[in-house]
Structure formats: C-alpha cells, structure tokens
C-alpha cells in the first residue's frame, strides 16, 4: 500500500513537471493594456497564437471605449488542452480550448466575445444570463475582425426562437431594436447591468414596450 502511494506520488510529480515544461507564457504590453498568454499545446501553430494576441489588441480597446473605459488593464488568456468547452471567462482570465482552435482556426473572434465579458464586468449580475450572452455576441458582431471568414453570422429569425435563447439569437434581436426602436439601447442596458440598476422594467422605460411586446413586434417584421 505504502509503495503504491509513493509510486503514485512520483508519477503525478512527473506528469506535473512535463505539463509545466510544455506550457509557454508570454506577456505583451501595448496601448496601456497588458496581456499574458499561456499555452500548453505545443502542436498549435504559433501563427494562431499571434492572431489571438493581435485580435485582443484590436478589439479590447474598442470594446473598452464603447462600453466600459474603466475595464481591467491586465488580462490573462490561456490556451488549454484540458478545457472541454469552447471558451470561458472568469476573473479577468479567458480560457480557450486548444481543440477548438485546431478545429476552427478562423474563429478568432471567440476572443472578441470572451473579452467582452471582461468589459461587461457585471459581477453578481442582477440581470438575466441570456442578456449577458446576447450583448457579448452583439459586440462580436459589431467589432469582430474575422466573422465572415469564420462563417459566423447572426441567424435569420425563425418562429421557434425566443429572445432568451441568448447568444446570436438575442444579439440579432438587439440589432433590430437598435435599428428600428431605440438606438443606444445596448449601451444603456450594458451600463445598467454593470451598475446593477437593471430590472425587467428597463425595457419598458427605455423603449415604451416590455421585452415580450418588443419580441412580438420583431417576430412580425424581423428585417434588419
């Protein structure tokens, strides 16, 4: 029993060491923003890593200027072979699945969506998750650098959709509201979510209609 434990300890130490040896970390500073990029996938083309960095330095200052100039100045990004989703963001750190970058190397604006979550900074949000994700995809649609080659578009309206489907469905609804009902709505909603002043009544106050009424009008004439 004791021997097995010792062997297990040695094996795990070796694995940690070899994982560490494969992890590269680089820190970039530009335009007042610091980006630390770590990568534990030695098989990933370094050009793809360079694209991540370039995309960050294009979109993050634009998102900050548009939505939240007080956003974090120091951002961390990790390309991780062990991450099983596509990407996620928490506490100023973006994690991107290495497998996703192999599969969809043109989908570089996964960075745009994720760093928008840093800009959003809603904390313990008082608003719905579908709106948070809808705004992040609205921002990707607005500021993304490679959406078309990635074949990333806002999907056409379908009667089976609803505003709380989140992501691109909600983003397209927000585009429609901006164009047909209330220019500036997204910035205002984003601001309210950050200040924790958002309530369900915010839609009515800002547009004269509840979110359900807005969706009904959208579903009747969804052209954007």
157 vs 167, beta carbon nearer Zn ion = 167
Identify the residue whose tokens are 């098989």.
43
Burial class (CB within 10 angstroms; exposed 0-12, middle 13-18, buried 19+) of 216 = exposed
Buried b (16+ CB within 10 A) or exposed e, 117-142: bbbbbbeeeebbebbbbbbbbbbbbb
Residue 63 lies near Zn ion (rule: CB under 5 A): no
Reference 55, options 22, 96, 102, 103; nearest CA is 96
The pairing of beta strand 93-97 with beta strand 87-90:
antiparallel
Residue 49 lies near Zn ion (rule: CB under 5 A): no
Q: State the sign of the Cα–Cα–Cα–Cα dihedral 213, 218, 221, 224.
A: positive
Residue 136 lies near Zn ion (rule: CB under 5 A): yes
Taking the complex as a whole, the smallest distance from the CB of residue 174 to Zn ion amounts, in Å, to 14
24 vs 146, beta carbon nearer Zn ion = 146
Binding mask 77-116 for Zn ion (x = CB under 5 A): ----------------------------------------
Residue 131 lies near Zn ion (rule: CB under 5 A): no
115 vs 214, beta carbon nearer Zn ion = 115
Phi-psi region of 31 (alpha: psi -120 to 50; beta: other; left: phi over 0): left
Total of residues contacting Zn ion (CB under 5 A): 2
131 vs 211, beta carbon nearer Zn ion = 131
Which of these segments, 50-58, 70-78, 93-101, 130-138, binds Zn ion (CB under 5 A)? 130-138
Q: Summarize as ranges the residues that interact with Zn ion (CB under 5 A).
A: 133, 136
């Amino acid at each position: 029993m004791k021997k097995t434990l010792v062997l297990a300890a040695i094996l795990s130490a070796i694995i940690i060491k070899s994982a560490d040896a494969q992890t590269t970390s680089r820190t970039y500073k530009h335009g007042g923003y610091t980006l630390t990029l770590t990568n534990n996938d030695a098989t990933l083309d370094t050009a793809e890593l360079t694209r991540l960095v370039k995309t960050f330095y294009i979109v993050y200052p634009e998102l900050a200027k548009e939505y939240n100039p007080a956003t974090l100045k120091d951002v961390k990004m990790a390309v991780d072979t062990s991450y099983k989703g596509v990407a996620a963001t928490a506490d100023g750190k973006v994690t991107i699945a290495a497998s996703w970058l192999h599969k969809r190397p043109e989908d570089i604006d996964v960075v745009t969506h994720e760093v928008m979550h840093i800009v959003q900074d809603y904390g313990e949000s008082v608003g719905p998750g579908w709106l948070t994700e809808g705004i992040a995809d609205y921002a990707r649609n607005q500021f993304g650098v490679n959406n078309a080659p990635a074949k990333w578009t806002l999907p056409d309206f379908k009667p089976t959709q609803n505003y709380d489907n989140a992501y691109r469905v909600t983003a397209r609804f927000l585009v429609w509201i901006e164009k047909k009902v209330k220019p500036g709505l997204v910035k205002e909603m984003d601001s309210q979510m950050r200040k924790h002043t958002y309530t369900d009544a915010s839609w009515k106050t800002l547009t004269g209609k509840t979110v359900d009424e807005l969706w009904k009008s959208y579903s009747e004439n969804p052209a954007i």
